Amino acid sequence: MSGSLLITFDKVWKSYGQGEATVHALAGVDLAIRSGEFVAIMGPSGSGKSTAMNIIGCLDTPTAGTYSFMGIDAGRLDRNRRAMLRNLYVGFVFQGYNLLPRTTAVENVELPLIYRGVAARERHDLAMKALAEVGLVGREHHTPAELSGGQQQRVAIARAIVTRPTLLVADEPTGNLDTARTHEIMELLTRLNTELGLTIAMVTHEADVAAYAERTIRFLDGHVASNAVNLEVV
Protein backbone atom coordinates (compact mmCIF):
# COMPACT_ATOMS: atom_id res chain seq x y z
CA MET A 1 0.00 0.00 0.00
CA SER A 2 1.48 3.34 -1.04
CA GLY A 3 1.69 6.07 1.55
CA SER A 4 2.21 9.81 1.68
CA LEU A 5 3.64 11.91 -1.13
CA LEU A 6 7.39 11.40 -1.41
CA ILE A 7 8.16 13.18 -4.69
CA THR A 8 6.35 16.03 -6.42
CA PHE A 9 7.09 18.06 -9.54
CA ASP A 10 5.13 21.32 -9.69
CA LYS A 11 5.43 22.89 -13.15
CA VAL A 12 9.07 21.79 -13.46
CA TRP A 13 11.11 23.15 -16.37
CA LYS A 14 14.65 22.20 -17.30
CA SER A 15 16.21 24.25 -20.05
CA TYR A 16 19.64 24.24 -21.66
CA GLY A 17 21.25 26.94 -23.80
CA GLN A 18 20.14 30.51 -24.39
CA GLY A 19 18.08 32.48 -26.85
CA GLU A 20 17.13 30.68 -30.05
CA ALA A 21 19.40 27.78 -29.04
CA THR A 22 17.39 27.05 -25.88
CA VAL A 23 16.23 23.46 -25.51
CA HIS A 24 13.49 22.62 -23.00
CA ALA A 25 14.22 19.10 -21.76
CA LEU A 26 11.26 19.43 -19.40
CA ALA A 27 8.42 21.85 -20.10
CA GLY A 28 6.21 22.48 -17.08
CA VAL A 29 5.99 18.90 -15.78
CA ASP A 30 3.64 17.97 -12.93
CA LEU A 31 3.94 14.53 -11.34
CA ALA A 32 3.81 12.80 -7.99
CA ILE A 33 5.19 9.57 -6.54
CA ARG A 34 3.98 8.22 -3.21
CA SER A 35 6.07 6.47 -0.59
CA GLY A 36 6.19 2.74 -1.32
CA GLU A 37 5.26 3.02 -5.01
CA PHE A 38 7.07 1.21 -7.81
CA VAL A 39 6.97 3.52 -10.84
CA ALA A 40 8.36 2.93 -14.33
CA ILE A 41 9.42 5.92 -16.44
CA MET A 42 9.47 5.48 -20.22
CA GLY A 43 9.88 7.54 -23.35
CA PRO A 44 12.01 7.82 -26.50
CA SER A 45 15.47 9.40 -26.52
CA GLY A 46 15.17 13.13 -25.92
CA SER A 47 11.76 12.82 -24.30
CA GLY A 48 12.88 14.20 -20.94
CA LYS A 49 12.76 10.97 -18.92
CA SER A 50 16.49 10.96 -18.07
CA THR A 51 16.37 14.63 -17.10
CA ALA A 52 13.40 13.91 -14.84
CA MET A 53 15.24 11.01 -13.23
CA ASN A 54 18.32 13.14 -12.60
CA ILE A 55 16.14 15.65 -10.77
CA ILE A 56 14.32 12.90 -8.85
CA GLY A 57 17.69 11.50 -7.73
CA CYS A 58 18.90 14.96 -6.63
CA LEU A 59 21.64 14.86 -9.28
CA ASP A 60 20.24 17.96 -11.01
CA THR A 61 17.88 20.85 -10.28
CA PRO A 62 14.99 22.45 -12.19
CA THR A 63 15.45 25.68 -14.14
CA ALA A 64 11.99 26.68 -12.96
CA GLY A 65 9.20 25.13 -10.92
CA THR A 66 9.46 23.14 -7.70
CA TYR A 67 10.85 19.68 -7.01
CA SER A 68 9.95 18.45 -3.53
CA PHE A 69 11.49 15.34 -1.95
CA MET A 70 10.21 14.24 1.46
CA GLY A 71 8.63 17.68 1.84
CA ILE A 72 11.95 19.43 1.17
CA ASP A 73 12.30 21.87 -1.74
CA ALA A 74 15.27 19.88 -3.06
CA GLY A 75 15.55 21.95 -6.22
CA ARG A 76 16.69 24.94 -4.18
CA LEU A 77 19.38 23.12 -2.21
CA ASP A 78 23.03 23.77 -3.03
CA ARG A 79 25.26 20.99 -4.38
CA ASN A 80 26.54 19.89 -0.95
CA ARG A 81 23.09 19.66 0.61
CA ARG A 82 21.75 17.72 -2.35
CA ALA A 83 24.70 15.33 -1.99
CA MET A 84 23.81 14.89 1.68
CA LEU A 85 20.18 14.19 0.76
CA ARG A 86 21.29 11.59 -1.81
CA ASN A 87 23.66 9.90 0.58
CA LEU A 88 21.05 9.63 3.31
CA TYR A 89 17.92 8.74 1.38
CA VAL A 90 18.62 7.63 -2.21
CA GLY A 91 20.13 4.44 -3.62
CA PHE A 92 21.15 4.07 -7.28
CA VAL A 93 21.28 1.08 -9.62
CA PHE A 94 22.66 1.48 -13.14
CA GLN A 95 22.73 -0.58 -16.32
CA GLY A 96 26.51 -1.04 -16.07
CA TYR A 97 26.68 -2.31 -12.44
CA ASN A 98 29.60 0.06 -11.60
CA LEU A 99 31.34 -2.43 -9.30
CA LEU A 100 35.00 -2.16 -8.34
CA PRO A 101 36.60 -5.00 -10.36
CA ARG A 102 39.25 -6.17 -7.89
CA THR A 103 36.99 -5.97 -4.87
CA THR A 104 34.80 -8.75 -3.51
CA ALA A 105 31.01 -8.57 -3.48
CA VAL A 106 30.86 -7.85 0.25
CA GLU A 107 33.53 -5.17 -0.03
CA ASN A 108 31.62 -3.52 -2.89
CA VAL A 109 28.46 -3.49 -0.80
CA GLU A 110 30.31 -2.01 2.18
CA LEU A 111 31.39 1.09 0.23
CA PRO A 112 28.41 3.37 1.03
CA LEU A 113 28.81 2.47 4.70
CA ILE A 114 32.50 3.41 4.64
CA TYR A 115 31.49 6.87 3.38
CA ARG A 116 29.11 7.10 6.34
CA GLY A 117 31.83 6.20 8.81
CA VAL A 118 30.22 2.93 9.94
CA ALA A 119 32.59 0.73 11.96
CA ALA A 120 34.19 -2.22 10.16
CA ARG A 121 32.35 -5.03 11.95
CA GLU A 122 28.95 -3.38 11.64
CA ARG A 123 29.35 -2.56 7.97
CA HIS A 124 30.51 -6.11 7.23
CA ASP A 125 27.43 -7.52 8.97
CA LEU A 126 25.10 -5.10 7.16
CA ALA A 127 26.69 -5.92 3.80
CA MET A 128 26.36 -9.65 4.39
CA LYS A 129 22.68 -9.15 5.29
CA ALA A 130 22.06 -7.12 2.13
CA LEU A 131 23.72 -9.79 -0.03
CA ALA A 132 21.51 -12.44 1.59
CA GLU A 133 18.45 -10.30 0.79
CA VAL A 134 19.35 -10.32 -2.91
CA GLY A 135 20.02 -14.07 -2.99
CA LEU A 136 23.84 -14.13 -2.99
CA VAL A 137 24.62 -16.26 0.04
CA GLY A 138 27.85 -18.10 -0.76
CA ARG A 139 29.01 -15.50 -3.29
CA GLU A 140 30.03 -12.80 -0.83
CA HIS A 141 33.77 -13.21 -1.40
CA HIS A 142 33.69 -13.47 -5.19
CA THR A 143 34.98 -10.62 -7.35
CA PRO A 144 32.83 -9.30 -10.23
CA ALA A 145 34.84 -11.36 -12.74
CA GLU A 146 33.75 -14.48 -10.87
CA LEU A 147 30.05 -13.55 -11.06
CA SER A 148 27.52 -13.62 -13.89
CA GLY A 149 25.91 -10.42 -15.14
CA GLY A 150 22.77 -11.12 -13.15
CA GLN A 151 24.81 -11.76 -10.01
CA GLN A 152 26.78 -8.56 -10.53
CA GLN A 153 23.54 -6.60 -10.76
CA ARG A 154 22.39 -8.26 -7.53
CA VAL A 155 25.59 -7.01 -5.86
CA ALA A 156 24.83 -3.53 -7.20
CA ILE A 157 21.30 -3.73 -5.80
CA ALA A 158 22.63 -4.91 -2.43
CA ARG A 159 25.02 -1.93 -2.42
CA ALA A 160 22.09 0.39 -3.17
CA ILE A 161 19.88 -0.96 -0.35
CA VAL A 162 22.49 -1.55 2.35
CA THR A 163 21.91 1.97 3.73
CA ARG A 164 18.13 1.37 3.76
CA PRO A 165 17.32 4.29 1.44
CA THR A 166 13.85 5.78 1.13
CA LEU A 167 14.10 5.83 -2.69
CA LEU A 168 15.79 3.53 -5.18
CA VAL A 169 16.55 5.10 -8.57
CA ALA A 170 17.07 2.36 -11.17
CA ASP A 171 18.34 3.44 -14.59
CA GLU A 172 17.83 0.64 -17.14
CA PRO A 173 18.68 -1.97 -14.47
CA THR A 174 18.21 -4.90 -16.87
CA GLY A 175 19.74 -3.30 -19.97
CA ASN A 176 22.76 -5.64 -20.03
CA LEU A 177 20.91 -8.85 -19.15
CA ASP A 178 19.29 -11.65 -21.11
CA THR A 179 15.57 -12.37 -20.81
CA ALA A 180 15.83 -14.90 -17.98
CA ARG A 181 18.14 -12.74 -15.87
CA THR A 182 15.97 -9.70 -16.62
CA HIS A 183 12.93 -11.33 -15.08
CA GLU A 184 14.96 -12.54 -12.08
CA ILE A 185 16.14 -8.99 -11.38
CA MET A 186 12.65 -7.57 -11.83
CA GLU A 187 11.20 -10.15 -9.47
CA LEU A 188 13.88 -9.19 -6.95
CA LEU A 189 13.07 -5.47 -7.24
CA THR A 190 9.37 -6.22 -6.88
CA ARG A 191 10.05 -8.22 -3.72
CA LEU A 192 12.22 -5.46 -2.22
CA ASN A 193 9.49 -2.94 -2.99
CA THR A 194 6.92 -5.11 -1.24
CA GLU A 195 8.94 -6.43 1.70
CA LEU A 196 11.04 -3.36 2.52
CA GLY A 197 8.49 -0.74 1.46
CA LEU A 198 11.16 0.64 -0.83
CA THR A 199 10.00 3.33 -3.25
CA ILE A 200 11.38 2.59 -6.73
CA ALA A 201 11.59 4.93 -9.72
CA MET A 202 12.88 3.01 -12.73
CA VAL A 203 13.75 4.13 -16.26
CA THR A 204 13.33 1.46 -18.92
CA HIS A 205 12.81 1.13 -22.66
CA GLU A 206 11.20 -2.29 -22.32
CA ALA A 207 7.45 -2.63 -21.94
CA ASP A 208 7.75 -6.09 -20.33
CA VAL A 209 10.09 -4.62 -17.70
CA ALA A 210 7.81 -1.63 -17.07
CA ALA A 211 4.94 -4.08 -16.54
CA TYR A 212 6.47 -5.08 -13.18
CA ALA A 213 5.81 -1.57 -11.85
CA GLU A 214 2.50 -0.41 -10.40
CA ARG A 215 2.38 2.61 -12.67
CA THR A 216 4.04 3.82 -15.87
CA ILE A 217 4.80 7.48 -16.60
CA ARG A 218 5.56 8.14 -20.28
CA PHE A 219 7.46 11.22 -21.39
CA LEU A 220 7.34 12.81 -24.83
CA ASP A 221 8.92 16.11 -25.91
CA GLY A 222 9.47 17.28 -22.35
CA HIS A 223 5.91 16.56 -21.22
CA VAL A 224 4.18 13.72 -19.40
CA ALA A 225 2.28 12.08 -22.25
CA SER A 226 0.56 9.48 -20.05
CA ASN A 227 0.50 8.43 -16.41
CA ALA A 228 -1.37 5.19 -15.95
CA VAL A 229 -1.71 2.38 -13.43
CA ASN A 230 -0.53 -0.95 -14.82
CA LEU A 231 -3.67 -3.05 -14.73
CA GLU A 232 -1.82 -6.36 -15.09
CA VAL A 233 1.27 -6.14 -12.91
CA VAL A 234 3.59 -9.11 -13.64
* Chain segment 120-143, per-residue pLDDT in tens: 999 999 999 999 999 999 999 999
Model confidence at 116: pLDDT above 50: yes
Domain of residue 51 covers: 5-229
On whether residue 145 sits in a domain, the answer given is: yes
**Please, which pLDDT band fits residue 1 given cuts at 50, 70 and 90?**
very low
In a domain, 25, yes or no: yes
Nearest alpha-carbon partner for 126 in 167, 164, 166, 92: 164
Residue 164 lies in a domain: yes
pLDDT tens digits, residue range 151-161?
Answer: 999 999 999 99
**The predicted structure's pLDDT at residue 8:** 97
CATH number, domain containing residue 25: 3.40.50.300
* Residue 123 located in a structural domain: yes
Q: Is the pLDDT of residue 216 over 70?
A: yes
CA proximity to 39, closest of 225, 209, 220, 223: 209
Mean pLDDT of 2-30: 93
Residue 233 has pLDDT above 80, yes or no: no
Helix (H) or strand (E) segment spanning residue 11: strand 5-16
Give the pLDDT confidence score for residue 3 in this predicted structure: 78
For residue 19, pLDDT beyond 90: no
In a domain, 234, yes or no: no
Kindly state whether residue 161 falls inside one of the protein's structural domains: yes
Q: Torsion over CA of 192, 194, 195 and 199, rounded to 10 degrees?
A: 60
Over 90: is that where the pLDDT of 147 sits?
yes
CB 124 within 8 A of CB 130: no
The pTM score is 0.93
Give the chain's domain count: 1
For the purposes of burial, counting CB atoms within 10 Å of the CB of 211, is it exposed (0-12), middle (13-18) or buried (19 or more)? middle
